[in-house]
Amino acid sequence: MMSNLDPDPHETISGGRAGVATEPVRELLEGRDVVLGGTRGMSVVRTLPNKERRMVGAWCFVDSFGPESVNGGPGMRVAPHPHTGLQTVTWLVQGEVLHRDSLANQQLIHPGQLNLMTAGRGISHAEESPTGHGPVLQGVQLWVALPDEHRGVAPSFDHHRDLPDLVDGGVRVRVLMGELGGALAGEGSPARAYSSLVGAEVAFDRDAETRVGLEPDFEYAAVTLSGAVEVDGVLLSPGSLLYLGCGRVDLALRAEQPGRLLLLGGEPFDEEIIMWWNFIGRSHDEIVRAREDWMTGRGFGEVRGYDGEPLPAPAMPTSTLKPRGRLR
């Protein structure tokens, strides 16, 4: 996890306005189990890209993992691999993960903290459970596509230990990126975003409810991380993504039992992109070049300190792909 380790990835073409719901909708989209490659074969649930819908704002990848017992074992072991054209957002519910990258950053992350890696024109990183890790690992890995005008930025990494923490009765919100409105409006996240978007975790005590303020020009979706949360009247359990469309000024949320929801939104992403393996580009040829650069040791630096070999890129699909609409 923390990476697309699929040994036979397909190019996914996303973006553009064609599929954006301009009115509020409630589309329940099932995630799929993806067994990631590597020696441990860890399993994740991928709700974006989904065969019905590939982006929500600039959010283009949502992998949920755990809760999984890592007691007595090595836990997560994701060897060095490259990224281009995106930001990775790492958010934990339980456990801890150690990040190392080709800029010589080394950062342990705990639940409630944010690791934000901006790949820009190219970076490589590794993620693993640290020595002496806890017994359970649970979290989510998200990717944000960078707009064309920013996707060539220099790579960077930021760890945010203290995110805005907003409370409304039995509901607590942590804003990962962007900002929320309504009763839970407050200062926005300090995390650097390159398009207008929001990502927030909403945690519920027993029998808690709230109404979050939304931006009518944004499209939104929700993913439950734990428990079951009622989102605009739809009971949402882990494993599915509820697409909510645009045109909303607020959103009713409630939970009977303690639970956690991830709310994602953003201005619909106008540009069409191509995602393949861990790269986001604008053309098939660009993806081919990024793959070649990684395989020949150019442009992605070196991750030091990881006990293992870097991940080789899978073979490219033989067909040439061109960007097209965001739905199919």
What residues make contact with Mn ion under the rule CB under 5 A? 2-3
> How many other CB atoms are found less than 10 A from the CB of residue 309?
8
Q: CB 278 → Mn ion: shortest distance, Å?
A: 6
Q: Which is nearer to Mn ion, 3 or 118 (CB)?
A: 3
Minimum distance of Mn ion from residue 167's CB (angstroms): 32
Shortest distance in whole angstroms from residue 293 CB to Mn ion? 16
Q: CB of 77: closest distance to Mn ion in angstroms?
A: 13
**Minimum distance between the CB of residue 159 and Mn ion, rounded to whole angstroms?**
15
- Angle at the Cα of 119 (from 115 to 124), degrees rounded to 5? 85
Instruction: Compare residues 50 and 87 and give the one whose CB is closer to Mn ion.
Output: 87
Instruction: For 171-231, give the DSSP string.
Output: EEEEEEES--EETT--PPP-S--SSSEEEEEEEE-TTEEEEEE--TTSEEEEEEEES-EEE
Can you spell out the DSSP letters for 255-274? ESS-EEEEEEEES---SEEE
What are the residues whose beta carbons fall under 8 Å from the beta carbon of 215, sequence distance 6 or more?
181, 196, 198, 265
Nearer to Mn ion, 2 or 203 (CB): 2
Taking the complex as a whole, the smallest distance from the CB of residue 209 to Mn ion amounts, in Å, to 36
Backbone angles phi, psi at 268, to 5 degrees: -50, 135
CB 266 within 8 A of CB 219: yes
Residue-wise burial string across 141-165, b where 16 or more C-beta atoms lie within 10 A, e elsewhere: bbbbbbeeeebeeebbbeebeebbe
Residue closer to Mn ion (CB basis): 2 or 208 = 2
Tokens at residue 61, please?
């990848």
R_g over Cα of the chain: 19
Our CB check for Mn ion shows the closer of 92 and 180 to be 92
Among residues 102 and 138, whose Cβ is nearest to Mn ion?
102
- Is residue 191 within 8 A of residue 199, CB to CB? The reply is no
Distance separating alpha carbons of residues 243 and 222, to the nearest angstrom: 7
Least Å from the CB of residue 252 to Mn ion: 35
The residue (of 157 and 204) whose beta carbon lies closer to Mn ion is 157
- Nearer to Mn ion (CB atom), residue 28 or residue 108: 108
Q: How far apart are CA 144 and CA 83, in angstroms?
A: 12
* Residue nearest Mn ion, Cβ-based: 3
Shortest distance in whole angstroms from residue 123 CB to Mn ion: 9
